[in-house]
């Protein structure tokens, strides 16, 4: 970063973009939940999904070392952020 640029020049742009993205995400989520709530079968499927997640949390999330599950995905993302040569694009 050049010395004459403010250190937080892009902070407001990133913050504003995140807020806009979150707003759109909330609208989409609200529409989906509204449609799901129209039938009891859909509500039952959502309940089953949360039940499955709760009863199989160790399979889904796995260990803190990042060997399997979502923990492995997060470990790979952190590794790529720390070493740009691991990025695939």
48 and 64, same domain (yes or no)? no
Q: Is residue 6 part of a domain?
A: no
Per-residue pLDDT tens for 24-40? 888 888 888 888 888 88
Cα–Cα distance for residue pair 51/30, rounded to 1 Å? 21
Cα–Cα distance for residue pair 15/22, rounded to 1 Å? 10
Per-residue pLDDT tens for 31-84? 888 888 888 888 888 888 888 888 888 888 877 787 888 888 888 888 877 887
What range does the domain containing 46 cover?
13-55
Q: Is residue 31 part of a domain?
A: yes
38 and 65, same domain (yes or no)? no
Q: Is residue 3 part of a domain?
A: no
**Which residues have a Cβ under 8 Å from the Cβ of 5 and sit 6 or more positions away?**
none
Cα–Cα distance for residue pair 68/60, rounded to 1 Å? 8
Q: Is residue 26 part of a domain?
A: yes
For the whole prediction, is pTM greater than 0.85? no
18 and 50, same domain (yes or no)? yes
**Which residues have a Cβ under 8 Å from the Cβ of 27 and sit 6 or more positions away?**
none
45 and 61, same domain (yes or no)? no
């Amino acid at each position: 970063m050049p010395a004459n640029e403010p250190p937080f020049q892009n902070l407001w742009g990133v913050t504003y973009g995140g807020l806009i993205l979150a707003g759109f995400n909330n609208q989409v989520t609200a529409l989906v939940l509204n449609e799901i709530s129209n039938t009891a079968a859909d509500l039952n499927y959502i309940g089953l999904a949360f039940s499955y997640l709760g009863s199989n949390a160790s399979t889904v999330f796995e260990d803190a070392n990042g060997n399997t599950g979502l923990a492995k995905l997060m470990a790979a993302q952190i590794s790529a952020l720390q070493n740009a040569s691991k990025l695939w694009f």
